[in-house]
Structure 1
């Protein structure tokens, strides 16, 4: 490891002395990433970030030189990602979700594309739900679900709950930056709403659902950097669903909606949890764009 680090430092020093064009920097970084089994597209994301330009500007200025100081930092970031697996979003401090840019850090789960599909389906359900006034996002993390749904449906009164004070801080920052009026609460899922006697029409959650036994199978980018609190759950990954559904009987209005993101093998189990508590409910397991079970919707 020490010899590798010395070799890398020599490489950085030598290359930093000779400014590269955008094209040369991208080509070098992409090849270096791929040689070490990392995604080559990360080079574009990082170089855009350090130069403060759009992808179109990046690709249309291939012959422009990268300032030496930015080139050095760019190369160091590539090194960190290759050596540790640190997510590119932790290096840039941001991630795009549903056409908007959100702040992210080590205290929150990095937004996944699959969760955009949950948003689309919730918005479709709201159209047929009738007069829905209140919605709560449980385990809000960076606040992507609560903020997006509030901005897409401004008429909703939106609550967002998380047990992590650090996560709530990130979520509040994102809501403020994007202009979403949301009521944030600290606690375990629906407990804060139960304590205040608050009823809601819609419960949405992308809770932790990975069984602890699956931890070794995750990529180092996820396993070592996403907060465990947002990833793993007891009862073979189902503990959060049990808790939320049990609590929901004290806050969900008649005719309300529960919308969950799930692990792709948990559809039938989560459906059973819901139907055991709400025998007359209509429960629907939905697939994502890759054809995997990814969401469960229950009309109560």
Structure 2
């Protein structure tokens, strides 16, 4: 297509959920409540870990990192989704769309690396308990956490840069709740094979690497747990990683379906539903999953509430 025949797109329309009338108001209120509770839950975890010496251990430091990721991860998408229920056309500028895409992708990547590191931490705690304090000191924990953040943001630079340079000529409606790889590639007026391959390799390799590390860690964990002679010992060992395993299954399950699959047409309503789970529901459930099953954390929380 000739350059002079192209109309440069300066803004996009996020179509989001196809709901009219009273349903929009109900969904807006529901999202507002979930978003508010998500912020409260994750901020509570960060504050308790930061100010309580008994929780300043690698496991809880990683959890505080994860909560910080979740706060910004959900903030990069949910406020814009809510604004779509208040306006007839949910416009987002070209720059705003790719900023959302960059932070959504970067924070999601950081979260996957953090989950892999948390799985490795549980492997050390259960499989090498006598050497745990040496193998996973607070200093090493902070270095691993910082590495997850740096890697997460650097990993996203190439795919986001490539897709942002594609020409968007006429079609500016994104049939999704957020700016993401698939919907953006779909409305581009030029199908660039190298950009599609690079984006696919970037997301799928990240997921496969982090999921593999997590899976190998849990393979060793399960092998160690089944060899514990007492049932109470097995239960105690499994309870320390059950919450993390639940979150891993939810996040990687949705992400694998979305980003590690053959190209082509996929049911949009499924994509929107899964995007809702990992952008809205999971950040809301994470504080609940991690704290309710953790006696040490609940003890600190009850003590803080009494004061």
TM-score normalised according to structure 1 size: 0.24
TM-score normalised according to structure 2 size: 0.24
Greater relative contact order: 1 or 2 (C-alpha under 8 angstroms, separation 6 or more)?
A: 2
The structure with the greater share of residues assigned to strand is 1
The structure with the greater share of residues assigned to helix is 2
